[in-house]
């Protein structure tokens, strides 16, 4: 849940006046306003989220929670996830698309997948090349999903509007990382899920799943579901 809230903060950072603070521009807004009342409005216009397209790379639990919140803001939802339940996506008004279609149509590309051999490097230079120049890229999931060299290149060349990143190939992010020098990037230190409530949420999930197994059923959050049938045949949690 904390990750989804962090993502919404990212969309605000990327599309509003606060985004300009990285270049030191926001500090001059007040003095500039006193000279020309219209100057801040013309120079620091934001972008409305309503009507914009969110492209989810990964439509599991986190992706679906992001979708619920984005939908409440009037945003269109598309997703690339070969393993997603099509019926569940339809209930959330999420259109299942190819990765190329997602990259080319999204106003916000959001990484929400887990790392597997198939998903490693899934968002590559090819995908970045398809993004609109007005689009933003957000990664609060895992760095291994993304070609960060390709990401840096499109940001440095202003091929996309900007990015918000919470995860990196090397953590902590090195002090000499070229990402730190870009004015069109919002960086945070891998804290998207860091909330006061997160331990309570995690603990409840574990206990709930143990109770499900004890009742002779298979929980939905299983990393290796292929072993569950044999586990249950052996008696499960006796």
In this predicted model, what pLDDT tens digit does every residue of 41-95 receive, in sequence order? 776 677 889 999 999 999 998 999 999 999 999 999 999 999 999 999 999 999 9
For every residue of 148-202, DSSP letters joined together read HHHHHHHHHTTSSSEEEES--SSSSPPTT-GGGG-TTEEE--S-TT--TTHHHHH
- State yes or no: is 171 an active-site residue: yes
pLDDT for the residue 46? 78
Query: Helix (H, G, I), strand (E, B), or coil: what is residue 123?
Result: strand
pLDDT at 195: 81
Annotated active-site residue in 9, 26, 69, 190: 190
pLDDT band at 34 (very low <50, low <70, confident <90, very high): low
Question: Which residue in the list 48, 118, 149, 171 is annotated as catalytic?
Answer: 171
Proportion of the chain above pLDDT 90, given as a percent: 62
In this structure, are residues 132 and 160 in contact, taking their beta carbons and an 8 Å threshold?
yes
The second-level CATH assignment, the architecture, of 2-18+47-187 is: 3-Layer(aba) Sandwich (3.40)
Is 79 in contact with 26 (CB distance < 8 Å)? no
Q: Is 190 marked active-site?
A: yes
Determine the pLDDT at residue 23: 46
Q: What is the pLDDT of residue 5?
A: 67
Confidence of residue 35 (pLDDT cuts 50, 70, 90): low
Q: For the chain, how are helix, strand and coil distributed in percent, rounded to 5?
A: 45, 15, 40
Q: What does the pLDDT look like over 187-209, one tens digit per residue?
A: 999 988 878 888 898 899 999 99
171's CB contacts (< 8 A; 6+ apart) are 143, 189, 190
Any idea where the domains of the chain sit in the sequence?
A: 2-18+47-187, 198-233
User: Does the model's pTM come out above 0.85?
Assistant: no
CA 232 to chain centroid: 35
Tens digit of each residue's pLDDT (9 = 90 or more) over 133-166: 999 999 999 999 999 999 999 999 999 999 999 9
């Amino acid at each position: 849940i904390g990750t989804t809230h962090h993502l919404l903060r990212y969309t605000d950072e990327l599309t509003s006046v606060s985004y300009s603070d990285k270049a030191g521009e926001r500090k001059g807004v007040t003095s500039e306003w006193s000279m020309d009342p219209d100057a801040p409005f013309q120079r620091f216009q934001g972008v409305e989220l309503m009507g914009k397209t969110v492209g989810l790379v990964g439509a599991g639990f986190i992706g679906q929670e992001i979708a619920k919140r984005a939908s409440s803001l009037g945003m269109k939802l598309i997703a690339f996830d070969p393993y997603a339940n099509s019926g569940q996506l339809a209930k959330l008004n999420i259109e299942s698309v190819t990765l190329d279609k997602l990259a080319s149509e999204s106003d916000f590309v959001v990484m929400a997948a887990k790392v597997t051999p198939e998903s490693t490097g899934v968002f590559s230079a090819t995908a970045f090349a398809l993004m609109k120049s007005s689009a933003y890229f957000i990664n609060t999931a895992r760095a291994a999903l993304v070609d960060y060299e390709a990401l840096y290149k499109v940001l440095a060349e202003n091929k996309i509007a900007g990015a918000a990143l919470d995860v990196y190939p090397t953590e902590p992010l090195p002090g000499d990382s070229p990402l730190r020098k870009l004015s069109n990037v919002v960086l945070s230190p891998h804290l998207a899920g860091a909330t006061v409530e997160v331990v309570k949420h995690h603990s409840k999930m574990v206990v709930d799943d143990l109770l499900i197994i004890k009742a002779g059923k298979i929980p939905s959050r299983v990393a290796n579901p292929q072993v569950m049938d044999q586990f249950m045949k052996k008696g499960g949690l006796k």
